[in-house]
Amino acid sequence: MSQRSWWGWGLADRALTDSEIHALAERVGPLLPLDGAVTPVPPVPALPPPRVRPPASLASAVSGADADRVAHAYGKAYRDVVRALAARLDNPPDLVARPDTEAAVAALLAWAGDAGIAVVPYGGGSSVVGGVEYRGDGPWLSMDLGRLAGVTDVDETTLTARAGGGTFGPALEAGLKPHGLTLRHFPQSFEFSTVGGWIATRAGGHFATGPTHIDDLVQAVRVVTPIGVSESLRVPASGAGPAPDRLFLGSEGILGVITAAWLRVRPRPRRTAAATIRFDGDTAGLAAAREIVHSGLQPANCRLLDPVEAALQAGVRDGGARLLLAFESAGAPVDDLAAHAVAICRAHGGTTEPTGSSTSGAWRESFLRAPYVRDALVRLGVLIETVETACTWDRFPALHAAVVRAARSAGPRGATHVTYRVTHLYPDGPAPYFTILAAAPRGGEVDCWDAIKTAVNDAIAAHGGTVTHHHAVGRDHRPWYDAERTAPFDAALRAAKAALDPRGILNPGVLI
């Protein structure tokens, strides 16, 4: 059985091989002034002993073993991988708990409250924003929800399914498949993220338009808070007071532990229509994408790659941007809709590429493989960061220019490349996803990353973008989230937190 990597993404045996890394080096060599070295993966660092011990009644659910603690020390951001590769584990958890019942979750919270131990809920550990890494001084426990997993109910009449909070993406889909159903929620972390983690971070998924955030796919949430269990009513819609699930969606572990949810699933798609459109530049592609959503179309995919992304990710090096367009349905016709979208693209100067072109398939392949490639790039000394936001259409051109400027001025000497794609589209604006590539100063990676992150996030905030469209806030985005939320909302959120977690043990430092 494959082991999870302790230092990088996913499964250890799926990391790039040495020969793959060298091939990668040859590809990126012309772009970046790399030194040719490949950082070795260090042995697992030895840890100081845990500062706390669980009571006997909880001992079976709690581990103080180094292997568990190392694996739960960090998320999977660039700065996490860099630090792990330097054998630097800043503040590993004292303990890792794996409760297999809600009663155990509640007992752990009660004990942690009594003992003054911080508790960080841990789903798949794929956070790229410092969401699972405690940065306080005292002892802390990483609560891995992996045993509260599985699809426990599937209801074909209402197209809903109930899953444990610790259910990973593939396990969820495997539980739905025999019923001909799917959630169609495929964040890039799909294989290594969980239902509860998606809900806690308001994950964004597969669809480029329409119900793409997990927010829209949740029928009811079950949460164990330090003051009791909350499970919202299982109804298709309600107008009764502020929506209770919306308090827990995006709560990032500070209000409670998400142990289960009823999800809105759908029949597997039976009809699809897809097209790849080439535009001379991204401006025309953006205009076409805007008109597509303004016309009332809801394509499942409508992903715009700027010319550099098209070259790097999809291998089409003709200087053009690409719009990957797809419609799908469980029965309703889609051909007319796709034809209408293509007609809009043509009116904006787009040209359709022959069906069977591998552009779209190549891109999907690269999407799933990207985090492993990222890890290999880190070992090659590449600073690689992805930054995403959403802004209104009118503000995007200036925001884009400012992000490029900020990354280049804050980045290391030598080339800093900034590419982007648009992953999600709304009638009022796009959600751009920037990739920043530079040669990292060896030994100074974290400082360099911090400088770029600060400059880029400042630029995004100055140009009306949100600090995150779907990566969450965690600890890394705190300064900009602090500025983004209003004083009254801050007061309300703090009050809600104090009411639900009166001893302040849940994920301290995140959000507020």
**Touching a copy of itself, residues 80-139 (CB under 8 A):** none
**Closer Cβ to a copy of itself, 62 or 223, answer by number:** 223
Q: How far is the CB of 387 from a copy of itself (least distance, A)?
A: 13
Give the three-state DSSP class for 494: helix
Which residue from 41, 44, 100, 215 is in contact with a copy of itself, where contact means CB under 8 A?
215
Q: How far is the CB of 191 from a copy of itself (least distance, A)?
A: 20
Q: At what angle do helices 282-294 and 335-347 cross, to 10 degrees?
A: 140
Confirm or reject binding of residue 201 to a copy of itself (CB under 8 A): yes
For residue 132, the minimal CB distance to a copy of itself (Å) is 16
Tell me the closest approach of the beta carbon of residue 159 to a copy of itself, in angstroms.
5
Options 66, 100, 155, 353; binder of a copy of itself; rule CB under 8 A:
155
Length, in residues, of the chain: 512
Closer to a copy of itself by Cβ: residue 82 or 292: 292
Residues 271-310, interacting with a copy of itself (CB under 8 A) = 294-298
Q: Is 213 a residue that touches a copy of itself (CB under 8 A)?
A: yes
C-beta of 96 vs 293, nearer to a copy of itself: 293
| Subset of residues 443 to 482 that bind a copy of itself, contact rule: CB under 8 A | 464-473, 477, 481
Smallest separation, CB 338 to a copy of itself (Å): 10
Element of type H or E holding 347:
helix 335-347
Return d(Cα 114, Cα 369) in angstroms, integer: 44
Least CB distance from residue 218 to a copy of itself, whole Å? Answer: 11
Q: Which residues ranging from 317 to 376 are in contact with a copy of itself (CB under 8 A)?
A: 329-333, 335-337, 340
State which residue, 174 or 243, has the beta carbon closest to a copy of itself: 243
**CA gap 425, 281 in Å, rounded:** 18
Distance from the Cα of residue 457 to its chain's centroid: 17
Rounded Cα gap, residues 387 and 139, in angstroms: 31
Only one residue has tokens 């100055």, namely: 462
Nearer to a copy of itself, 94 or 385 (CB): 385
Q: Which residues pair with 194 in a beta bridge?
A: 168
Compute how many residues bind a copy of itself; rule: CB under 8 A: 98
Name the residue with tokens 């104090």: 498
- Is residue 234 within the footprint of a copy of itself (CB under 8 A)? yes
SS3 422: strand
Q: Given the complex with a copy of itself, which of 7 and 480 has the nearer CB atom?
A: 480
Residues between 377 and 436 with contacts to a copy of itself, criterion CB under 8 A: 390-394, 424, 426-431
> How far is residue 447 from each of residues 78, 89, 134, 186, 440, measured CA to CA in Å?
12, 16, 19, 32, 10
Q: Which two tokens stand for residue 43?
A: 């042995």
Of 444, 433, 388, nearest in space to 411 by CA: 444
With a CB cutoff of 8 Å and minimum separation 6, the contacts of 56 are none
Nearer Cβ to a copy of itself (98/202): 202
231 vs 458 by CB, closer to a copy of itself: 231
| 180 near a copy of itself, rule: CB under 8 A | no
Contact between 268 and a copy of itself (CB under 8 A)?
no
Half-sphere exposure of 284 (CA within 13 A, CB side): 17
For residues 57 and 392, which CB has a smaller minimum distance to a copy of itself in the complex?
392
- Which residue shows structure tokens 């009116």? 347
Binding window for a copy of itself (CB under 8 A); candidates: 63-71, 263-271, 365-373, 404-412: 263-271
Given a contact cutoff of 8 angstroms between Cβ atoms, the answer to whether 213 and 203 are in contact is yes
Helix (H, G, I), strand (E, B) or coil at 321: strand
